[in-house]
Amino acid sequence: MQLWDLGLANHTRGPLRVFKGHTKEVVSVHWNQTRGPPLFLSGSWDCGVNLWDPNSTVPISAFREHLGQVYGAVWSPRKPGVFASCSSDGTLKVWDARQRSSGQTFQAHHHEVLSCDWSKYNENLVVTGSVDKTVRGIDIRAGPGAPPLFSLGGHGYAVRRVKCSPHHPTMIASSR
């Protein structure tokens, strides 16, 4: 991964920092958006999520519980230090960055989960998109065995990206 500062006159000469902490392709990065230090997450096909401080090229923490490639790692917009990750193992995991293991694991789909996003209005709702062509809403209060709040079909192919609207509490966008 590379960190750039477009405000610097010499940004065309190269990145500020290069981060090497994964053994395979990195497919997800996400900045912390709550109060606290400016940290970011990376998700990789090495089945892990790393937590980074932009001032250091060594990960602060590595989270390695997924049994397949990690396609997404996103911070909660409302719960400081909490993030979710999704994987080809079909799971959604919810983490507290101060803990070494995940707090909850949900069997979100029976196929690869390619994307996840937190609701900007409901701190307990995480939306997922999957190879099974569906979008699902997971209420993290319900516990790992509970069914999804909703399951939306309509895509002809895998759902590659889901995003919760920052402008409207009940709108989400999905793409294939």
* 75/41 Cα distance (integer angstroms): 8
| pLDDT at residue 66, rounded to an integer | 98
Nearest 10 degrees: Cα torsion 15, 84, 98, 144? -160
Mean pLDDT, residues 59-67? 97
The per-residue DSSP string of 145-159 comes to TSPPSEEE---SS--
Domains, the chain, ranges and CATH? 2-175 (2.130.10.10)
Of the pLDDT bands very low, low, confident and very high (cuts 50, 70, 90), residue 11 is low
Position 13 scores a pLDDT of 77
Please determine, for residue 10, whether its predicted confidence score (pLDDT) is greater than 80: no
Q: Which tens digit of pLDDT belongs to each residue from 86-115?
A: 999 999 999 999 998 999 999 999 999 999
Decide if pLDDT at 37 tops 90.
no
Q: Tell me the HSE value of 55 on the side-chain side, using a 13 A CA sphere.
A: 2
pLDDT number for residue 144? 87
| Mean per-residue pLDDT over the chain, rounded | 95
| Contact status, residue 127 vs residue 162, Cβ threshold 8 Å | yes
How are strands ordered across the β-sheet holding 135-139? 113-118, 125-130, 135-139, 150-152
Confidence tier at 8 by pLDDT (50, 70, 90): confident
Residue 119: pLDDT above 90? yes
Query: What is the C-alpha separation between 100 and 41, in angstroms, rounded?
Result: 15
Q: Residue 153 pLDDT more than 70?
A: yes
4-17 average pLDDT score: 81
Q: Which two tokens stand for residue 128?
A: 């997922």
**At residue 169, does pLDDT exceed 90?**
yes
For the segment 29-48, the average pLDDT, to the nearest whole number, is 94
Contact between 34 and 76 under an 8 Å Cβ cutoff? The reply is yes
pLDDT value at 36 more than 90: no
The tokens describing 7, both together, are 């405000």
| Residue 131 or residue 12, greater confidence | 131
